[in-house]
Structure 1
């Protein structure tokens, strides 16, 4: 199906997300901090990045900005997965180029559906 990079510093959440997305037929790789995640995105050039906001070394907003600034990554879709839930947080996420935003705590079914939706919109 699709190539997905999950960037999440909470190992349990990363494992859960990766398991659910692999179960849906996707090829998934996982990184646990923003710098490693950005490096993986540049190497893999995935269809989708599921990106935590609050992480060490680079936060999700910085990673999203770097992805959007790189013309070679123009087709990569970004879904922020975060506990940040204020209206201003949502506005900031979309302002830097996020394609979607899922708030923690989250349903893995909803996340899988949102991944499918951003994949359907590409092109």
Structure 2
């Protein structure tokens, strides 16, 4: 991992976002967190993240809408995305395995930090 790898974390749950951001920062990542998905595009343009971690279910604009907005912007379209969701549990038969839903990689919000970090590394390797 490059110490200057920048992650844009987009999730409406402030407590969860702060906890995940703190853990990712302890792991050496530079993290910018936003809790209003309507500000995701503007923040991504200025922050220029290496990867975006996006909650699937949020008010006003869900994770799918955020991904569509990012992919619709030519300057941001190549940024890898990792979806987070509380709607699914980690697959007990393949713990830590990156799963796909609707063509997007996702991990459960209940996953261990190591699982999330490994998913980030996997997505960064797919650029």
Identify whether the pair has TM-score above 0.5, normalized to the shorter chain: yes
**Aligned equivalents of 2:12, 2:64: Cα separation in 1:** 14
Matched, 1:71 2:77: no
Name structure 1 gaps, 5 residues minimum.
Answer: none
TM-aligned CA deviation for residue 56 of structure 1: 2.1
Matched with 2:41 is 38
TM-aligned CA deviation for residue 84 of structure 1: 2.6
Matched with 1:108 is 113
Contact 2:71 2:78 in 1 (8 A): no
Name structure 2 gaps, 5 residues minimum.
Answer: 90-99
**Aligned equivalents of 2:63, 2:52: Cα separation in 1:** 10
Tell me the SS of whatever aligns to 2:75.
helix
Q: 4+ runs of 1 displaced by more than 4 Å?
A: none
Tell me the SS of whatever aligns to 2:65.
helix
* 1:51-100 CA-partner distances (Å, limit 9, x unpaired): 001112211100001111111113211100012339xxx543x2xxx3x2
Give the number of the structure whose residues are more often helix, by fraction: 1
Alignment root-mean-square deviation, CA: 1.7
Contact 2:6 2:50 in 1 (8 A): yes
**Aligned equivalents of 2:101, 2:83: Cα separation in 1:** 12
Based on CA coordinates, which of the two structures has the bigger radius of gyration?
2
Contact 1:21 1:28 in 2 (8 A): yes
The size of the alignment, in residue pairs, is: 114
Contact 2:57 2:85 in 1 (8 A): yes
Tell me the SS of whatever aligns to 1:71.
coil
2:59 aligns with one of 56, 59, 78: 56
1:82 aligns with one of 60, 80, 85: 85
Matched, 1:20 2:23: yes
